[in-house]
Amino acid sequence: MPGRNFLFVPGPTNVPDRILRAMHRAQEDHRSSTFPELTKGILSDLTKVFGTTKGQAFVLPSSGTAMWETAIVNSLSPGDKVLAVRNGQFSHLFIDAAQRLGMQVEIIEAEWGAAVEPAAIQAKLAEDTAGTIKAVLVVHNETTTGVTSDIGAVRAAMNAANHHALLLVDGVSSVGSLDFRLDEWGVDFAIAGSQKGFMMPAGLGIICLGPKGLAAIATATCPRAFFDLRDHVTHNANGYFPYTPSLAHLYGLREALDMLLAEGMANVAARHKRLGEGVRRAVKAWNLSVCTKDLTCQSDTVTAIVVPPSADAEVVRDIAFRKYNLALGAGLGPLRGKVFRIGHLGDLNELMLLGALAGTEMTLVDAGIPITLGSGVAAAQAWYRESAK
């Protein structure tokens, strides 16, 4: 099909041409005397994206999923008890990873579409007077449902319970796109990947540890080899890695960090908020609903749209892809067939998003879902004009 595929899933995201050019390079000696300049610059600038002056960032040739394991095995010991909130597919998989690694997981069940409830975490921790719960696992931005939870409030709840559990946060679809404050929120392990806010191909797992997280590396006794951050601490100090790094990805990450920091992280978050609001206004104009239960918690990186009971969201996605070269996100787990998702994160502007909304409108009409062509696009256009600086 002529033209460019419109990629509007919530990850992987569009890769800017300048990042592709940065990655297109010959291989080099990753043990040379000049290589540390690249490594040290990347690791230093990553802390600015995570919002920390006290923490330390690490990069592994893996994925965001692998960072779940990295966080767990570097913070805990076999059989440790952890508390986790399940409010979507990715929190479910975070829990699954902890269980497979031998942790005892106490689960707070929440409705899919609801945000993490800090009061529920506080109540569970307050009951744990013996301090048997060693960590709290939460997802900052639950991509399945388009919900962003208040991590600062989670930390405040943990402090109110006077509990010393570590806070492990999945920020895969938030770090690099949404406001993230590792120091202020007291996050001990923050997890990210290269294929979302960092605007790169999948292939890098990125994790940032606060002071308590760094201290936990020395006391955790889980078996670890490839994901052992102790090795990274030793090698990164000199600007190297404990094994062969993905050179192309590192150069892409260097370019991505240059782009993010030139825009400014506050401006990056503001841009995503503004773009996301346009999508939400389009959905409202279509008289459709979003999966998010509390509209104040809607994500600025992805919108999960509920189709009418008589429709199949997978049919919507297939029409969009085959007829209009538009990739929309699938409903996951129990939401499959009920929800489709529009990702609006990474390298993105108003006109790109308006094109996706126009394609979605044609798709919805083709799928027999009664909307007025142009209504959502017009609502988004009005907002983007109104909110333009």
**What CATH number is attached to the domain comprising 80?**
3.40.640.10
Q: Which residue, of 262, 294, 320, is where some domain finishes? A: 262
Whether 142 and 173 map to the same domain: the answer is yes
Amino acid at the residue 4: R
Whether 156 and 219 map to the same domain: the answer is yes
Whether 301 and 335 map to the same domain: the answer is yes
CA dist., res. 118 & res. 158, Å (int): 8
Whether 138 and 50 map to the same domain: the answer is yes
Task: Answer yes or no: is 269 within a domain.
Answer: yes
Q: Which residue, of 226, 247, 262, is where some domain finishes? A: 262
Whether 254 and 272 map to the same domain: the answer is no
Residue 114 sits at φ, ψ, to 5 deg, of -95, 155
CA dist., res. 56 & res. 79, Å (int): 27
Task: Answer yes or no: is 271 within a domain.
Answer: yes
- Give the per-residue pLDDT at 4: 87
Whether 240 and 297 map to the same domain: the answer is no
**For the whole model, what pTM was predicted?**
0.97
Three-state DSSP class for 298? strand
Provide the domain limits for residue 319. 6-13+265-387
The number of domains in the chain is: 2
Only one residue has tokens 């030139």, namely 262
Task: Answer yes or no: is 124 within a domain.
Answer: yes
Task: Answer yes or no: is 1 within a domain.
Answer: no
Whether 282 and 217 map to the same domain: the answer is no
Q: What CATH number corresponds to the domain at position 339?
A: 3.90.1150.10
Consecutive sets of 10 residues in the chain, 389 residues long: mean pLDDT of each?
Answer: 90 97 96 98 98 98 97 98 98 98 98 98 98 98 98 98 98 98 98 98 98 98 98 98 97 98 98 98 98 96 98 98 98 98 98 98 98 98 95
- Give the DSSP letter string of 146-196: TEE--HHHHHHHHHHTT---EEEEE-TTTTTTS---HHHHT-SEEEEETTS
Whether 295 and 253 map to the same domain: the answer is no
What is the chain's length? Answer: 389
Three-state DSSP class for 56? strand
Whether 241 and 287 map to the same domain: the answer is no
Task: Answer yes or no: is 175 within a domain.
Answer: yes
Closest CA to 275 of 343, 364, 176, 327: 343
Task: Answer yes or no: is 369 within a domain.
Answer: yes
Whether 353 and 337 map to the same domain: the answer is yes
Task: Answer yes or no: is 128 within a domain.
Answer: yes
Task: Answer yes or no: is 313 within a domain.
Answer: yes
Q: Which residue, of 202, 232, 262, is where some domain finishes? A: 262
Q: Chain-centre distance of CA 361, in angstroms? A: 27
Distance set, CA 372 to CA 238, 284, 310, 376, 381 (Å): 60, 12, 18, 8, 15
Only one residue has tokens 């209504």, namely 375
Whether 234 and 339 map to the same domain: the answer is no
| Residues with Cβ within 8 Å of residue 290, at least 6 apart in sequence | 146, 280, 283, 298, 303, 304, 305, 306
Only one residue has tokens 């800017």, namely 16
CA dist., res. 206 & res. 174, Å (int): 13
- Give the per-residue pLDDT at 1: 66
| Residues with Cβ within 8 Å of residue 115, at least 6 apart in sequence | 87, 147, 148, 149, 150, 293, 294, 297
- Give the per-residue pLDDT at 2: 81
In sequence order, the β-bridge partners of residue 385 are: none
- Give the per-residue pLDDT at 223: 97
- Give the per-residue pLDDT at 370: 96
- Give the per-residue pLDDT at 389: 80
Three-state DSSP class for 20? helix
Distance set, CA 286 to CA 163, 307, 354, 370, 386 (Å): 46, 11, 14, 8, 20
Neighbour order of strands in the sheet with 81-86? 56-60, 205-209, 189-193, 166-170, 133-139, 81-86, 104-109
Phi-psi sector, 342: left (phi>0), alpha (psi -120 to 50), beta? beta
- Give the per-residue pLDDT at 285: 98
| Residue 286 per-residue DSSP state | T
Whether 198 and 85 map to the same domain: the answer is yes
Residue 309 sits at φ, ψ, to 5 deg, of -55, -30
